[in-house]
Structures are given as structure tokens and as C-alpha cells.
Amino acid sequence: MRSLDHLFEHSSRSLARRTSRRSLLASLGQLLTGAALLPLLPVDRGGRAWASDAKSGGPETCEYWKYCAIDGFLCSCCGGTSSSCPPGTASSPITWIGTCHNPGDGRDYIVSYNDCCGKTSCGNCECNRNEREKPVYRPSRNNDLNWCMANADSNYHCTVSVILGVAEK
């Protein structure tokens, strides 16, 4: 009887020892795997974009870097965004072009300013900046024209700024 007790005691002790070691190893494995996968988790890097926006004002302020040659109402204050027309308006196919410096990355960008047409003037966030603007006899570099003139509905509503590319030095 004593040898049976001894046998059971021995086997349960050995099982307990093995089980706890195994679970320790399993936890350690999980920990190491988790630590290795941590850098692969998605990270919101939007903060950097906002940081560069903050340097030059956000898209709803006239100081925003993309607006360096704009003249009109900011579509981002009229139900659209800095680069898309508000619902119910259509973008002008002819535009004027500016070159603006982005303080966020130190590069210069070619920006197209499209008027959004088909509704009466938005009236919000008027912005008139004229960096590198040329006289009206060079219309593609001039911002004093209603570029809705070629649209079916030539009512001017607001202006968007669309990045066309990086300006080469």
C-alpha cells in the first residue's frame, strides 16, 4: 500500500513540476511573440501631418501653406475640403497655378486653384494671397478671374487647391 502511495505521490509531483514549467515556458513564449509583433501594429502617424499643418495654420485658415496664391472663399469653410468642391458645385476645368512652399517637408509644390461653380458665393473664409501671381495678361498665373466662366453654371462659389506635383529646383 505504501509503495502505491509513493508511486502516486511521485507521479503527481512530477506532473505538477512539468505542468508549471510548461506553462511558464508558454507564458514566456507568448510574451516574446507579443514583444516581437508590437512594432508591426498599425500606428497613427497623422499627428505629423497635423504638426506641419499647425506650423502654417490649418486648411480652414488663410495662412495654410497650400493657399499661397489663392483669391476667393476657402471651400474647406463652405462644405467641401481644401481640395474638393462642396456638394452641388462643379470644379472649373480651367484654373490658375501657383507654387507654394510646404514648411512641413521643406519642399515646393505646384498647386492648381480650381473655382467651384454652380452656387452663389459661399462668403466664408475669404482669402486673398498673391505669392508669385502674374498680371491678368498671363491668366494661368492670375487669380483675379472667375474661372467658372467655362462652366455651364458660371456662378462662383469657392476655391479649392489641388497639389499637382513637386516643383523641381
How far, in Å, are 5, 30, 151 from residue 148 at the CA level?
97, 62, 5
Smallest gap, in angstroms, from Cβ of residue 85 to ligand ABN? 13
List 56, 74, 79, 115, residue binding ligand ABN (CB under 6 A)? 115
Smallest gap, in angstroms, from Cβ of residue 156 to ligand ABN? 4
Decide: is 147 part of the binding site for ligand ABN (CB under 6 A).
yes
Minimum CB distance to ligand ABN smaller for 65 or for 69: 69
List 52, 130, 146, 155, residue binding ligand ABN (CB under 6 A)? 146
Decide: is 145 part of the binding site for ligand ABN (CB under 6 A).
yes
CA atoms within 13 A on the CB side of 20: 5
Show the CA angle centred on residue 130, arms to residues 141 and 126, nearest 5°.
115
Active-site residue among 53, 65, 96, 147? 96
